[in-house]
A and B are shown apart, each in its own frame.
Chain A
Amino acid sequence: MKNDITRREALALGVSVAALAATGASAQTASTIKAADVPAPKLAIEKGASLRMLRPVRFVQADEDVFRANAAKFSKETGVEVKVDFVGWEDINQQTAVTSNSGAGPDIIIGFSDAPHIYIDKLVELTDVADYLGKRYGGWLPLAQKYGKRNKSDAWIGLPFGATAGPLIYRKSVLQSIGFDKVPEDHAGILDLCQKLHKAGKPAGFALGNAKGDGNGFANWALWSHNASLLDEEGNVVINSKETIAALKWVKDIYPSFIAGTPSWNDVSNNRAYSSQEISLTANGVSLYFSLKNDPATKAIADDSEHQLLPKGLAKVSPMAGLTLNAMLFKHSQYPNAAKAFLQFMLEKDQYEPWLNANSGYWSQPLAAYAEAAVWSSDPKVKIFKDTMQSTYYDGYKGPISTATGAVSADYVLIQMCAAVATGASTPEAAAAEAEQRAKRYFRRQGR
């Protein structure tokens, strides 16, 4: 780690340049983020402490570079060695499970959204750090509170670092050529648009395969925009409802207008189809836009692309949940104070703001004050991602988050329900009944 720090320190200047190049925003400009003068919790860092952390692999290179530079800075200031390992998104759950069950391994793991709720008994409460950060930086945003706090409690079990969203991305020129300025907010309008896009040979495409991010994103949107949900407020499974049936009928109607093959799509399929101009409308994170923008061969596509929040349908606000990075501190850590101090350090303005800017909008802030970060004014097409964590929608909406809500998502229950109806393999009624049976199975055992 010592060598690593030295190397990373040498890269520190380069990181700022990378952030500048990636975002178009200057990481060097004076910060406009306000930090309240709040006393920090007294964390006596254990003597000889060293930390090991696991987090999901970066989507934007600058994410990793700045994160490592910040960790190195912490080591330099406190003498606490921090080893950060990056693992694939699909592997983080398994590694967290092993760490949790064996009581050994990394001190800190940054998992996704509901992970702290799954391993709740094995985690150290982070309420002191979370309260301090909340008071200092304008308060935690709704999605951060939902995923960070224990259900029906003010105790923090995770510390959200940011969330990424999957709004619509579309080709402006193609929509205009068929008489649309943007994607309509109502279901009939969206259906009409997609049918016209299909007729024009530039169809829409939304993942209906076993895709963790995009597949679940589409299925949730289809349900939530029809006011359907997996759970009610008390945590009862209510997926087999008339709202769900209506959503599934709409999915069945709109599916023929999609490009062929969407039931086999995984999380990168729509990126590829959009980049190659096979489709003109899909839902995706900001990474697609940036990959198009940063490649001279595809810059014209980026210039012609617009983002839009997922249409509301029958919902009052855009029903879009953000995939959240959520840090967990395990009870088996020998240095819990050092770990808390590290998490707090990483979310302080001097470290967090450059990291947020370096991510080009891929991750959006969990703390309100960071809405003033330079990244959000760097490119008007990125601004839409700024309020991702203002969302009131989440995996398991409207009920309490539990292990089972994560399991339903991980087992693709809702995606398969939609795909079964879309492809004609099942009727809406049968598909909803099967999803209810599968979900109830998870909730019977894991809804605790």
Chain B
Amino acid sequence: MSVTTLPSRGMALRQPGWIARLLDYKPFLIVMCLAPAIGLLTVFLTYPLGLGVWLAFTDTTIGQRGIFIGLENFQYLLKDPLWWNAVFYSVFYTGVATIGKFALGFWLALLLNNHFPLKSLLRAIVLLPWIVPTVLSALAFWWIYDPQFSIISYLLVDVLHIRSTNIDFLGTPWPARFSLIAANIWRGIPFVAISLLAGLQTISPSLYEAAMLDGASAWQRFRYITFPMMMPILAIVMTFSIIFTFTDFQLVYAITRGGPVNSTHLLATLAFQRGIAGGELGEGAAIAVSMIPFLVFATLFSYFGLARRKWQQGEAND
């Protein structure tokens, strides 16, 4: 014989445990859910950035602990012609390369937005420069620009007989600067083209149909539909492009290492040269930190200047 005890009414209505109650508490849940992300950001972003900024205010060298020296590194840089040269070339490199990438990338995006045979294949091919590891493409350009074995010089001198001597791409400052910019444009075009192509495909065809009914020319359709509609994505892509270009390192380091006569040093390569190769970690960090104002300015300019224009929200510009 067995005796069965029915659950009492009190047990059926038992209050949940403290863990359950805690997990039902919304502020706690928010903190719990955000903690991993905040932890990761702290460890992998905030700490390295903070350490870099701290090093910039010390005289740390490789193998030796440094002490806090305030703004001494920055004061030295302001008197250093090489730093000024790197600032100039970083801005020039970024400006010219970005204009080049956007002009060609936008043009390519417009072309790829049309219907034509093998469209998918061509779009895939356009991505190639982006897929190839940067150092590999840098080595290819290094060969292309070689003073003795350049394929361009070979074509011009030995095949077409247009020139009698090889082109000295990297041996003098300005040709070297433009050679690097050309390599950067080649490498950056796919990012711009594919991003803008994605933007172009979001524009409703009905807008173009309406414009055509109104008799708008191709230029007018571009000027009054395509370009305004593309402004938000242009702003985002330009912001990223400026950041990528301004902080470029691999192309320059692999092709010229900042030469000839330090004329092609970007701030990133100069920071590495001084901080790691030269062992001046503090000064290298200061050069890297000196990039931040330029990047913030460029980001704010492209973001507020292009993305937040009132006319995009249906209002006139101020």
- Judge: A and B partners, yes or no: yes
Chain A residues within CB distance 8 Å of chain B: 93-94, 97, 100-101, 118-119, 121-122, 208-210, 259-266, 269, 272-273, 276, 278, 403, 406-407, 410-412, 416, 419-420, 423, 425-426, 434, 438, 441-442, 445-446, 448
> B201: CB under 8 A from chain A?
no
Q: What is the bound-complex CA distance between A448 and B166, given in angstroms?
A: 47
Q: Which 5 A-B pairs have the closest CB atoms?
A: A261-B147, A264-B170, A263-B260, A210-B257, A411-B278
Shortest distance from the beta carbon of B33 to any chain A beta carbon, whole Å: 34
Check: B165 CB closer than 8 A to any chain A CB.
Answer: yes
B296 to chain A minimum Cβ distance, whole angstroms, is 28
Query: Taking CB as reference atom, which chain A residue is nearest B253?
Result: A210
A425–B261 alpha-carbon span in the complex (Å): 8
Residue-by-residue, is B121-164 near A (CB-CB < 8 Å gives 1, otherwise 0)? 00000000000000000000000011111000000000000000
Q: What chain B residues lie within 8 Å of A208 (beta carbons)?
A: 260
Complex A-B: 10 CB contacts under 8 Å: A93-B276, A94-B276, A210-B258, A264-B259, A269-B147, A410-B277, A412-B257, A416-B259, A423-B261, A441-B280
**Bound-complex Cα distance A208 to B284 (A):** 24
**Nearest chain-B residue to A265 (Cβ)?**
B147
Which one of A97, A261, A265, A425 has the highest number of Cβ atoms from chain B below 10 Å of its Cβ?
A261
B187 to chain A, nearest CB (A): 20
Output the least CB separation between A242 and chain B (Å). 23
Quick one: CB contact mask for B39-69 with A, threshold 8 Å, 1 for yes?
A: 0000000000000000000010111100000
A362 to B152, CA, bound (A): 35
- Cross-chain contact B61 with A445 (CB below 8 angstroms): yes
The stretch of B10-18, B171-179, B210-218, B233-241 that contacts the partner chain: B171-179
Asked if B260 and A209 sit within 8 Å, CB to CB, the answer is yes
User: Which residue of chain A is the closest to B165 with respect to CB atoms?
Assistant: A260
B149, A403: Cβ atoms under 8 Å? Answer: no
Contact A419 B260 (CB under 8 A): yes
List chain B residues, Cβ under 8 A from A276.
148-149
* B230: min CB distance to chain A, Å: 40
Distance of A261 Cα from B142 Cα, bound (Å) = 13
- Which of chain B's residues have a CB closer than 8 A to the CB of A448? 64
Summed over the interface, the residue pairs from A and B with CB atoms below 8 Å come to a total of 120
Which single residue of chain B is at the shortest CB-CB distance from A117? B63
The answer on a CB contact under 8 Å between B262 and A264 is no
- Find chain B residues with CB under 8 A from A263 CB: 170-172, 259-261
CA distance A261 to B263 in the complex (A): 15
- What is the distance, in angstroms, from A279's C-beta to the closest C-beta of chain B? 9
Known contacts A407-B279, A446-B279: A260-B168 contact under CB 8 Å:
yes
Q: Is the CB of A101 within 8 A of B259?
A: no
Q: Which of B215-268 contact A (CB under 8 A)?
A: 256-263
- Which residue of A122, A423, A426 contacts B172 across the interface (Cβ within 8 Å)? A423
Is the pair A278, B148 in contact by a Cβ cutoff of 8 Å? Answer: yes
Asked if residues B171 and A411 are in contact (CB atoms below 8 Å), the reply is no
B107 at interface by CB-CB < 8 Å = no
Complex Cα–Cα for A448 and B63 (A): 11
Most buried by A among B145, B147, B260, B262: B260
From A118, A122, A269, contact of B279 by CB (8 A) = A118
B258 touches A264 (CB 8 A): no
Residue B309 is within 8 A (CB to CB) of chain A in the complex: no
- Determine how close the nearest CB of chain A comes to the CB of B91; give it in whole angstroms: 20
Q: In the docked arrangement, what's the CA distance between A441 and B73, Å? A: 11
A259 touches B148 (CB 8 A): yes
Is B76 a contact partner of A441 (Cβ separation < 8 A)?
yes
- CB neighbours (8 Å) of B62 from chain A are 97, 100-101, 118, 403
Known contacts A101-B63, A260-B168, A261-B168, A407 near B280 by CB under 8 Å: yes
Beyond A264-B147, A411-B274, A441-B76, whether A446 also contacts B261 by CB under 8 A is no
Let me know if B293 is at the binding interface, CB within 8 A: no
**Assuming A209-B259, A263-B171, A425-B173, is B279 touching A403 (CB within 8 A)?**
yes
Closest to A411 in B: B278
B88 to chain A, nearest CB (A): 14
Rounded to whole angstroms, the CA-CA distance of A272 and B149 in the bound complex is 9
Given contacts A208-B260, A264-B260, A441-B76, contact A118 B171 (CB under 8 A): no
Task: Name the one of A210, A262, A272, A434 contacting B171, with C-beta atoms under 8 angstroms.
Answer: A262
Q: Are A264 and B63 in contact (CB under 8 A)?
A: no
Q: Measured between C-beta atoms, what is the minimum distance from A84 to chain B in Å?
A: 24
Instruction: Determine how close the nearest CB of chain A comes to the CB of B11; give it in whole angstroms.
Output: 58
Give CA–CA (A441, B278) in the complex, Å. Answer: 11
A406 to B274, CA, bound (A): 12
Q: Which of B81, B148, B276 contacts A272 (CB 8 A)?
A: B148
Q: How far is the CB of A66 from chain B (nearest CB, A)?
A: 30
CA distance A278 to B256 in the complex (A): 21
Closest to A423 in B: B261
Nearest B-chain residue to A408, judged by Cβ: B278
Q: Are B279 and A410 in contact (CB under 8 A)?
A: yes
Instruction: Contact check, B257 vs A209: say whether CB atoms are below 8 A apart.
Output: yes
Cα-based distance from A208 to B81 in the complex (angstroms) = 20
Q: Is B273 on the interface with A (CB-CB < 8 A)? A: yes
Q: Is the CB of B148 within 8 A of A445?
A: no
Distance (whole angstroms) from the CB of A266 to the closest CB of chain B = 7
- Measured CB to CB, the nearest residue on chain B to A404 is B279
Q: Shortest beta-carbon distance, B98 to chain A, in Å?
A: 25
A100 contacts B148, C-beta separation under 8 Å: no
- Chain B residues 60-114 with CB under 8 Å of chain A are 61-64, 76, 81-82
**Closest partner residue, chain B, to A121 (CB atom):** B63
Q: Is the CB of A261 within 8 A of B63?
A: no
Contacts of B76 in A (CB 8 A): 441
Structural contact, A97 and B63, CB atoms closer than 8 A: yes
Docked complex Cα distance between A406 and B279 (Å): 9
Inter-chain pairs besides A264-B176, A441-B76, 17 sampled, C-beta below 8 Å: A97-B276, A121-B63, A209-B256, A210-B259, A261-B147, A261-B170, A262-B147, A263-B170, A264-B168, A276-B148, A276-B149, A410-B277, A411-B278, A423-B172, A425-B173, A445-B59, A446-B64
Which residues of chain B have C-beta atoms less than 8 A from A425's C-beta? 173, 261, 263
Closest-CB distance, A426 to chain B (whole angstroms): 8
Tell me if A260 and B171 are in contact (CB < 8 A): yes
On whether the beta carbons of A264 and B280 are closer than 8 Å, the reply is no
Residues of chain B lying within 8 A (CB to CB) of residue A94 = 276
